[in-house]
Amino acid sequence: MRITLSALALALSAGGAMAQSSEVTRHPLPDSDFPILQAVEVPADATLVYLSGTVPQVADEEAEEGSAERYGDTAMQTETTLSSIEAKLESLDLAMGDVVKMQAYLVAPEGADAMDFAGFMDGYTQYFGTEEQPELPTRSVFEVAGLANPDWLVEIEVVAVRP
């Protein structure tokens, strides 16, 4: 059986077009309402945008430098960090709903035995899985010994996809 080069090219391009989708596919956790994805599929022709680690912004300008109040608790630090990420994404013509992967690094607050995961979730759920922004990312959360500034309890990296 002889196949011409043009017939082969047509068959390959049609098969490739059927195999690729231009849409991001998000797979929720089965039987769970926890606000992260189990997996996400990004089409081969999508552009991925990697944001560097983003850290908390000063929450209380009046608070003394080096005080816990200056950046706030884990919930406040998560909120200001995500607000900063949102602004960075907007400057790149992206939105929080375009985030497909998140890595969060948390430090245990002074005097605590472990990271404040509940505080992190309080800030996180203001930006993901809301009525206004229902999209969820895949996500990992790590407890670390410290960050570049000893007052920071949170640092977050994200990967977004350009639709």
pLDDT tens for each residue of 79-114: 999 999 999 999 999 999 999 999 999 999 999 999
* Dist. CA 143–CA 163, nearest whole Å: 32
Q: What is the pLDDT at residue 8?
A: 44
Alpha-carbon torsion angle 30, 129, 126, 133, nearest 10:
160
153, 74 contact by CB (below 8 A): yes
- What is the overall mean pLDDT for the chain? 90
How many degrees, rounded to 5, is the angle at CA 80 between CA 119 and CA 149?
85
Q: What is the pLDDT at residue 163?
A: 81
Mean pLDDT of 4-25: 55
* Dist. CA 145–CA 48, nearest whole Å: 30
| Residues 6 or more apart whose Cβ sits within 8 Å of residue 15 | none
Mean pLDDT of 14-41: 82
Mean pLDDT of 28-49: 97
Mean pLDDT of 47-62: 97
